Amino acid sequence: MSDAWRLPPLAAVLVAVVLIVCAEAGGASMVRFRVELTRWARGVMLAHPEVHGLVGVRDVDERILDEALVKFDAGLRLFHLHAEGMGLVILATTAVAATLARGRRVRGVMIVLLTAGGAGYPLGYLLWSWLIPYHGIERGKSIAEWFVWMPFGGATIVALWWLAGLVVLRLARR
């Protein structure tokens, strides 16, 4: 087998590039629409006082709203950071998988796990941000955990351990 690097499938490259584009667009939108986003989130929270435990006293409620808005903003920032990072992780890891995994099926499964996991995981932060005004910080986090972070993050971790094992195997066979 040659030592040359192989390109990952174009679909995986496209997903990675689109993810990085989404990260950049998301970052820019966060800055451009910061006031509108905050106003929207605050409005939804005020429309769901029971969800956030608002008591109708400004001195108490401002602190609750402030925490939720800080987390809402943090979710958007973390989406921006993770989408940028995971885009690059997809490019790098799928290239390694395309180069080192011999079996077609093994290579395919590995690349699908790395691509889907890497692309899906950052979306959990976006989902969490969107859920905070409607369901609160903790409930929103639980939903994002079970529906996005666990399955997609798990897929990435499984595929990365698999890839690591493959590299070790290659080293041992040399």
Partner 1 sequence: MTLRALPLLALVVAPVPALAHHVGAYTPQDNELTTNFKQVKFSVQAGKFEVARRLFEAGALRAQMRAKAATLPPGLESGTRAALQAGDAPEVERRLMIFFAALARDLALEAGRQLVDARLAPEARATAGPRFLEAIWRYYNLIDFAVAMRDDKTSVAMRLAFDEAEGYAKAAAPAGAGLSDALRRIAQILTHLIDTSSTFARRNP
> Which residues form the interface with partner 1 (CB under 8 A)?
50, 53, 55, 57, 59-60, 62-64, 66-67, 70-71, 74-75, 77-78, 121, 124, 128, 141, 145, 149-158, 161-162
Token pair for 124: 């959990």
CA distance 70 to 73: 5
Nearer to partner 1 by C-beta: 112 or 158? 158
Least distance between partner 1 and beta carbon 10 (Å): 27
Nearer to partner 1 by C-beta: 22 or 159? 159
Least distance between partner 1 and beta carbon 145 (Å): 6
Contact indicator for 80, 26 with CB cutoff of 8 Å: yes
Nearer to partner 1 by C-beta: 43 or 154? 154
Q: Reduced to 3 states, what is the DSSP secondary structure of residue 103? A: coil
Residue carrying the six token digits 């490259």:
13
Least distance between partner 1 and beta carbon 53 (Å): 4
CA distance 167 to 100: 7
Q: Reduced to 3 states, what is the DSSP secondary structure of residue 7? A: coil
